[in-house]
Amino acid sequence: MWPHRKRPSYGFLGRVQSLGINYGQVANNLPQPQHVLELFRSLKLTKTRIYDTNPQILTAFANSNIELIVTIENEVLTDLMDPQQALQWVCTHIRPYFPATRITGIAVGNEVFDTTLMAYLVPAMVNIHAGLVQLGLDEYIHVSTPCSLAVLAESYPPSAASFRQELAGIMLEFLQFLSSTKAPFWINAYPYFAYKDDPARVSLDYVLLNYPNSGMIDPLTKLHYDNMLYAQVDAVIFSVAKMGFGGLEVRVSETGWPSKGDSDEIGATVENAAIYNRNLLSRQLAHEGTPLRPNTRLEIYLFALFNEDLKPGPTSERNYGLFQPDETMAYNVGLSELSASSTSSASISLTSSANHEVAKMGYQSLVYWMFVYLVAIQVLMRRPF
């Protein structure tokens, strides 16, 4: 550790306000990382997440100013129970590339709470963070893990949401770690699955983020939700607050829509995928927050950059990409048009759908802080004095 040394300043700019994108590599026909970097530049994309620490990608993206979140594979978690192995992992996979490659986060596993490895998760995160501290990198790189919505026992309405009871102990440790290190809670959220499983009852406009649509009103908070993605995120925010951590930021580590599926994968079409991702991009450019946190722009990473031909499972799993492996568009969501125009003109042309929320922001912010206050009172009342 450097207890008496001034930490180095790497001259990073503030967080770039843009849509992130997941760069998966489960394929045998993808372009070389240097070509992918050129694609990022042409589209003016500035944030990405990869599912490993591929040295070719980390080297290619050096000096590009593109923010990267890297991932520790699930199968490595048991090794990281040893603090020395965790430090060695940081020294091998992070230190040689940073700061030239702008690594901003480490995802420790992916959807680990859905596996038998969850007992190893928090110790691994603690040890990885300790390794970053020892190398003086903890101020620049956060440590978290993406969770699926399966961590919730209830998600509808958002105010009724809570974590599964059997996760209470480990979830408390996890949230304590995030709070102490000021790291975000990452959630993988796919409204597509809700529609696929029950298309007769779930509104397509609601899951596609179309506006206007009647949506739903939370009976407790009276907040109006015009899309399922924001409702899912607020369900997580409520669940986190009920555990006593209302100040944590919740970010979307994955969301997307498949452009092709099997016969029983209702809604997996090019048209729906284009609409979902175009609406998502529009809302991101409008700097939208959720109804519960309207003044905090929701950070989202779209899944995914490419169609990946080696992914197992149903046809949809191989068809989430915005691009084909030859870098042609699977469908057009408007990224090319935006890259050809200035940020200001793009924002002006795409923010009209969000303007109707501006007048509500003061009231919604008040509702949120009233809720946090009530949760805090409940937590204090439960404590023995």
Reported as a single tens digit per residue, the pLDDT across 31-77 is 999 999 999 999 889 999 999 999 999 999 999 999 999 999 999 99
Q: What is the mean pLDDT of residues 249-273?
A: 98
Domain ranges of the chain: 19-151+163-190+250-338
Per-residue pLDDT for 233 more than 80? yes
Per-residue pLDDT for 2 more than 50? no
Q: What is the pLDDT of residue 335?
A: 72
Q: What is the pLDDT of residue 101?
A: 98
Q: What is the mean pLDDT of residues 100-121?
A: 96
Q: What is the mean pLDDT of residues 172-176?
A: 98
Tell me phi and psi for residue 50, to 5 degrees.
-115, 160
CA 14 to chain centre: 19
Regarding the domain delimited by 19-151+163-190+250-338, which CATH topology (the fold level of the hierarchy) does it fall under? TIM Barrel (3.20.20)
Alpha helices in 18-82 (DSSP H): 33-43, 55-60
Q: What is the pLDDT of residue 385?
A: 39
Q: Return d(Cα 57, Cα 101) in angstroms, integer.
A: 9
Per-residue pLDDT band at 95 (split at 50, 70, 90): very high
Q: What is the mean pLDDT of residues 244-256?
A: 97
Q: What is the pLDDT of residue 374?
A: 55
Q: What is the mean pLDDT of residues 202-212?
A: 95
Can you list the positions of beta strands (E) in the chain? 20-23, 47-50, 67-72, 103-108, 142-144, 146-148, 152-154, 162-163, 185-188, 216-217, 224-225, 250-255, 300-303
Q: Which residues are catalytic?
A: 111, 254
Q: What is the pLDDT of residue 160?
A: 98
Per-residue pLDDT for 8 more than 80? no
* Joined tokens for residue 292: 């519960």
Q: What percent of the chain has pLDDT over 90?
A: 78
Per-residue pLDDT band at 5 (split at 50, 70, 90): very low
Per-residue pLDDT band at 237 (split at 50, 70, 90): very high
Contacts 24+ apart (CB under 8 A), 117-122: 117/74, 117/77, 117/78, 118/167, 118/170, 119/170, 120/77, 120/78, 120/80, 120/81, 121/77, 121/145, 121/170, 121/174, 122/170, 122/173, 122/174, 122/177
Per-residue pLDDT band at 164 (split at 50, 70, 90): very high
Q: What is the pLDDT of residue 339?
A: 53
Tell me phi and psi for residue 376, to 5 degrees.
-60, -40
Average pLDDT, rounded, for the chain: 87
* Joined tokens for residue 334: 């408007």
